[in-house]
């Protein structure tokens, strides 16, 4: 009984075992990855997500096809990889989460709070998308697939073929509208000027809106909870909670499946896709002869390349810092960063062939150009691609594989997000929470599930889209720019390089030329340009052609402000907490705290030999907050 009381009521005891710490771990307070492969696959799983499949292929097609790979690769080298390596090194060096790691520069502590808040909001809606995938996965165990035809749930606008009518003159001189069926039965013809089409919706589109989502007319009309989605969301959270129950010790094993399985499915779908009629035309649109290098003169193309690289690598979310904090001190985070970034980008390009080979087929059989069937985001994942799969032989099999792939792609990205939140909490309150990792996981999953229920109402998709529009854009770019300012300019770029060399070994000056150029100038300037350009070209959020009410847009700006307001709040708070005059206080909050440095004494060397023990300070003084 005492054991359970201690578990739930957070009494400070020493007899509660750290289930997330192994006997062979280097850091017996926080634990380490069981192997470097666990860490590498967790990084790949966190970085390679839904955006690689449903966003990059469409961006490449829209922005010049194969020519888009030029700005994409340049942005990877100048913006994505430098920030990725910086965050991995930062977390690994101090063995601390995304808030506590800012002991290096206390004035920037609010940046850590901001990224954790953003991760929390993203976790709420991202698991809803995983819930959609689970629903479609279950729905795929039917033949025929429920979105293959206009069944009883459809309305008069549903059709698998365009509806064409002919305006003819009857015997008495009146005008009559007849369809193509009547013309065929009566051996009649229609003059071209008298033919017109009526807009229709495909079965997959109506199934998505009417059956899966029960979508309302707008954000103003929420309706009740859609219980089949609420149950799918609950199942998604149960899977996440179970995988993270023992922290990295359990999730590090699950990712062997969730990170590798999507590649198996992508290969299977590609083999099937390229054998379909019309596949070649689809691939030509994606990255072949339809490539248009002249589009590189358009600034929008470069902005799209930069934002896709930035977001697909999951930088500035706090996840890279959190996952890397469990590395052993001398892990080669440099090679890990290279491998993950290259793998992530190669996956995006490869997924494009999978997507456009099948879209080319649906364009072929529907007698439409590829441009009319190409979509991104929800439209691709839950309308266009399912429609294409429904037209294949043994369509349920292909649909099951596709949606199970989406589930695994999303779920390991969610592992990284929840690990970020849990790590931040246990590092800020180690005296009470570090030995109760299972409790943290359960509480976080339950609370976020309850907060996610509005996203599974009739207006749920509008909430998902609104949060995504405001939380996964400017906030993260602001946080990334401030990371460069804090680590490179305030903490000191040269000092940071020396910290990295303590972990991966001494490197010659030529090795650091590229990283210095990017960290000190190129990367922060690029991100600042992207931020300004995004703000200048801001457009009010909408879901398809449905605009948001004014109060919805205002709420979105409020959410954005709520996330970033903690940056100045914690700067002022730490300034007020410091001692001395104004200049002395400013110096203190721009300098590392006494316990900053390698977590374990055996790694501190001469540079940090006078460092105070982080564990002793935590036990006596508590968290930074």
Q: What residues in the chain have per-residue pLDDT under 70?
A: 1-23, 162-198, 614-625
Whether 619 has a binding-site annotation, put simply, is: no
Rounded Cα distance between 331 and 324, Å, is 9
Q: What is the DSSP letter of 106?
A: G
Find the DSSP H helices in 164-317. Answer: 180-185, 203-206, 227-243, 248-258, 261-274, 279-287, 299-312
Rounded Cα distance between 464 and 481, Å, is 26
What angle in degrees, to the nearest 10, is found between the helix axes of 493-504 and 333-365? 90
**Alpha-carbon distances, residue 374 vs 227, 333, 381 (angstroms):** 31, 38, 11
In CATH, what class is 36-148+210-556+592-619?
Answer: mainly alpha
User: How far from chain centre, in Å, is Cα 162?
Assistant: 36
DSSP, collapsed to helix, strand or coil, labels residue 473 as: coil
Number of H helices, E strands in the chain: 31, 5
pLDDT for residue 193: 46
Rounded Cα distance between 115 and 119, Å, is 6
pLDDT for residue 269: 93
**Alpha-carbon distances, residue 279 vs 220, 362, 402 (angstroms):** 42, 9, 18
What angle in degrees, to the nearest 10, is found between the helix axes of 109-139 and 566-577? 150
Nearest of 119, 55, 549 to residue 309 by alpha carbon: 55
Nearest of 66, 89, 72, 74 to residue 345 by alpha carbon: 72
Q: What is the DSSP letter of 578?
A: S
Q: What is the DSSP letter of 23?
A: T
Whether 35 has a binding-site annotation, put simply, is: no
What are the start and end residues of each CATH 1.20.1740.10 domain in the chain? 36-148+210-556+592-619
pLDDT for residue 76: 93
Whether 505 has a binding-site annotation, put simply, is: no
- The torsion angle over the Cα atoms of residues 195, 196, 201 and 204, rounded to 10 degrees, is 30
Nearest of 473, 591, 504, 540 to residue 92 by alpha carbon: 504
**Dihedral pair phi/psi, residue 527, rounded to 5°:** -65, -35
Residues 448/120, Cβ–Cβ less than 8 Å: yes
Would you mind telling me the total number of residues written for the chain in this entry? Answer: 625
Rounded Cα distance between 167 and 198, Å, is 13
Burial-class residue 550 by CB neighbours within 10 Å (0-12, 13-18, 19+).
exposed
**Alpha-carbon distances, residue 589 vs 283, 312, 486, 515 (angstroms):** 54, 33, 11, 26
Whether 45 has a binding-site annotation, put simply, is: yes
Residues 474/482, Cβ–Cβ less than 8 Å: no
Whether 409 has a binding-site annotation, put simply, is: yes
Rounded Cα distance between 215 and 80, Å, is 36
Whether 48 has a binding-site annotation, put simply, is: yes
End-to-end Cα separation, the chain, in angstroms: 32
Rounded Cα distance between 462 and 473, Å, is 17
Residues 80/309, Cβ–Cβ less than 8 Å: yes
**Dihedral pair phi/psi, residue 267, rounded to 5°:** -65, -45
Rounded Cα distance between 490 and 587, Å, is 10
Whether 344 has a binding-site annotation, put simply, is: yes
Output the six-digit token pair for 320.
Answer: 């890279």
Whether 52 has a binding-site annotation, put simply, is: yes
Whether 384 has a binding-site annotation, put simply, is: no
Nearest of 31, 89, 586, 582 to residue 330 by alpha carbon: 89
């Amino acid at each position: 009984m005492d054991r359970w009381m201690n578990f739930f009521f957070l009494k400070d005891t020493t007899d509660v075992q750290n289930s997330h710490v192994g006997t062979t771990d280097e850091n017996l307070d926080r634990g380490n990855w069981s192997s470097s492969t666990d860490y590498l696959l967790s990084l790949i799983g966190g970085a390679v997500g839904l955006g690689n499949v449903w966003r990059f292929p469409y961006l490449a097609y829209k922005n010049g096809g194969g020519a888009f790979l030029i700005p994409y690769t340049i942005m990877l080298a100048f913006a994505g990889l430098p920030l990725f390596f910086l965050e991995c090194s930062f977390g690994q060096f101090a063995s601390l989460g995304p808030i506590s790691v800012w002991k290096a520069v206390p004035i920037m502590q609010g940046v850590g709070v901001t990224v954790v808040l953003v991760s929390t909001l993203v976790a709420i809606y991202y698991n809803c998308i995983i819930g959609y995938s689970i629903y479609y996965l279950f729905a795929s165990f039917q033949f025929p697939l429920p979105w293959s035809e206009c069944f009883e749930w459809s309305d008069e606008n549903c059709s698998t073929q365009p509806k064409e009518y002919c305006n003819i003159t009857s015997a008495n001189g009146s005008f009559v509208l007849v369809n193509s069926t009547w013309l065929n039965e009566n051996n009649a013809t229609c003059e071209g000027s008298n033919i017109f089409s009526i807009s229709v919706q495909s079965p997959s589109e109506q199934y998505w809106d009417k059956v899966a989502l029960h979508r309302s007319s707008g954000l103003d009309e929420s309706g009740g909870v859609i219980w089949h989605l609420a149950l799918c969301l609950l199942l998604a959270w149960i899977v996440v909670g179970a995988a993270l129950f023992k922290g990295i010790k359990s999730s590090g094993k699950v990712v062997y499946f969730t990170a590798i399985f999507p590649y198996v499915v992508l290969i299977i779908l590609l083999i099937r896709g390229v054998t379909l009629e019309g596949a070649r035309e689809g691939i030509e649109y994606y990255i072949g002869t339809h490539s248009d290098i002249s589009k590189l003169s358009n600034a929008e193309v470069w902005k799209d390349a930069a934002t896709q690289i930035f977001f697909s690598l999951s930088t500035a979310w706090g996840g890279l810092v959190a996952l890397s904090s469990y590395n052993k001190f001398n892990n080669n985070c440099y090679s890990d960063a290279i491998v993950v970034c290259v793998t992530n980008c190669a996956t995006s390009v490869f997924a494009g062939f999978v997507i456009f080979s099948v879209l080319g087929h649906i364009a072929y059989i529907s007698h439409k150009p590829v441009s009319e069937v190409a979509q991104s985001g929800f439209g691709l994942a839950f309308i266009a691609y399912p429609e294409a799969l429904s037209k294949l032989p043994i369509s349920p099999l292909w649909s099951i594989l596709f949606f199970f792939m989406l589930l695994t792609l999303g779920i390991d990205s969610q592992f990284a997000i929840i690990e970020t939140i849990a790590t931040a909490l246990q590092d800020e309150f180690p005296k009470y929470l570090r030995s109760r990792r299972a409790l943290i996981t359960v509480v976080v999953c339950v609370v976020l599930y309850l907060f996610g229920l509005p996203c599974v109402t009739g207006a749920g998709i509008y909430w998902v889209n609104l949060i995504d529009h405001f939380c996964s854009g400017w906030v993260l770019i602001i946080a990334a720019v401030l990371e460069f300012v804090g680590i490179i300019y305030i903490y000191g770029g040269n000092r940071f390089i020396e910290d990295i060399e303590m972990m991966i070994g001494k490197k010659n000056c030529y090795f650091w030329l590229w990283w210095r150029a990017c960290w000190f100038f190129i990367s922060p300037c690029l991100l600042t340009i992207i931020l300004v350009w995004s703000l200048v070209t801001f457009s009010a959020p909408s879901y398809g052609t449905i605009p948001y009410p004014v109060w919805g847009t205002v709420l979105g700006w409020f959410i954005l402000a709520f996330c970033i307001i903690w940056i100045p709040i914690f700067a002022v708070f730490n300034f007020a907490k410091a001692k001395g005059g104004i200049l002395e206080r400013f110096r203190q909050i721009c300098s590392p705290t006494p316990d900053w440095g390698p977590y374990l004494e055996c790694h501190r060397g001469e540079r940090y030999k006078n460092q105070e023990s982080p564990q002793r300070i935590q036990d006596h003084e508590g968290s930074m907050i």
